[in-house]
Structure 1
């Protein structure tokens, strides 16, 4: 389970050090892919495979399905953390997410999200007021 907010940096080679508390869950390999809102999603390999099977089972006779499959699978990179817990973020993925040196890693339960620090701050500012409303829509009656 991925929770919390962490502030790693990209090094000059495009490597990101994974938060220590997530490393065991990602030690068997991970998949980095383009997420929504111009962030990157990081899934444990097994979690990604489950999701990918569902995507692959969708009817590829549908134009939107084909487009989504191409976008998802072409934009995914498999990584294995090195001894220091670092993973290389592919140049295309860094470009897509606008990653600079300062990054934010957000736990999103089944996945991690990697954001450029400035983009994350902007996202929070734009969506903070809607949090209470969204909570009622997502989980009515819980809080």
Structure 2
């Protein structure tokens, strides 16, 4: 399970060092794809493959399904960590997420999310008030 917030730096070659606590679950390979809200999602390869099978089962005769499949799979890059726990982020993915030197990596249960640091802070500021409402929608009657 991926949890927590970390602040790694993107180097000049487009490499990001993953937090040490996240490296072991990603040793079997990882998939980086465009996420929602202009962040990147990083899935362990096996988790991504399970999701891909579900997406593949949707009827491709549906226009929304085709659009989603194209967007998801065309924007995905398979990676593996180097010996120092770094991953290379493709330039198109860096552009999409607006990544520069300062990044934020958050754990989101079954995936990591990589954010531009300024964009992450803006997201938190904009959504702080909605947190209680979202909690009630996701976990009604809990807490």
Q: Give the TM-score of the pair, scaled to structure 2.
A: 0.99
CA distance, structure 2, for counterparts of residue 20 and residue 92 of structure 1: 26
CA distance, structure 1, for counterparts of residue 9 and residue 139 of structure 2: 34
**Number of aligned residue pairs:** 143
- Offset of residue 28 of structure 1: 1.0
User: Residues 88-113 of structure 1: CA distance to partner in whole angstroms, max 9, x if unpaired?
Assistant: 00000000000010000010000000
| Corresponding position of 2:95 | 95
Q: CA RMSD in A?
A: 0.4
| Corresponding position of 2:120 | 120
Displacement over 4 Å in runs of 4+: none
Q: Give the TM-score of the pair, scaled to structure 1.
A: 0.99
CA distance, structure 1, for counterparts of residue 96 and residue 55 of structure 2: 21
What 5-or-longer segments of structure 2 have no aligned partner?
Answer: none
- Offset of residue 58 of structure 1: 0.5
CA distance, structure 1, for counterparts of residue 107 and residue 142 of structure 2: 21
User: Residues 18-49 of structure 1: CA distance to partner in whole angstroms, max 9, x if unpaired?
Assistant: 01000000011000000000000000000000
